[in-house]
Structure 1
Amino acid sequence: MVGAVDASRVGSVFTGTPPFEVTRRDVVAFADAVGATSSVHRDVDAARAAGYADLVAPVTFAVVVAQEAESEYIADPASGIDFSRVVHADESFAHRRPLVAGESVTTAVHVDAVTTRGPLTLVTTRTELTDAAGDGVATVVSTLAVRGADA
Structure 2
Amino acid sequence: MPISAEHVGRRYPAAPPYVVSRAKIAEFAAALLDDNAAYRGDHPVAPPTFAAVIAAQAWSALFDDDELGLALNRTMHTDQTFTFHRPLRPGDHVVAELSIEKVRARGSLDMITVLVDLTVDGEAVCEARSTLMHTRED
TM-score between both structures, scaled by the size of structure 1? 0.83
* 2:123 aligns with one of 106, 112, 135: 135
- Count matched residues: 138
Q: List gaps (5 residues or longer) in structure 2.
A: none
**1:70 to 2:59 alignment:** yes
1:43 is matched by which residue type in structure 2? G
1:1-150 to structure 2, matched below 5 A, reads 1=1, 4-44=2-42, 47=43, 55-132=44-121, 134-150=122-138
Alpha-carbon distance in 2 for matches of 1:96, 1:127: 14
Q: Which 4+ stretches in 1 moved above 2 angstroms?
A: 4-9
Contact 1:6 1:80 in 2 (8 A): no
Contact 1:6 1:78 in 2 (8 A): no
1:25-58, CA deviations, whole angstroms, 9 ceiling, x for partnerless residues? 21111111222211221322xx3xxxxxxx2100
Give the share of equivalent positions with the same residue, in percent: 33
| Aligned CA-pair RMSD | 1.6
SS in 1 for 2:88: coil
Q: List gaps (5 residues or longer) in structure 1.
A: 48-54
2:15 is matched by which residue type in structure 1? T
- Find the structure with the greater CA-based Rg: 1
Alpha-carbon distance in 2 for matches of 1:24, 1:31: 11
Q: How far apart are 1:9 and its partner, in Å? A: 2.3
TM-score between both structures, scaled by the size of structure 2? 0.91
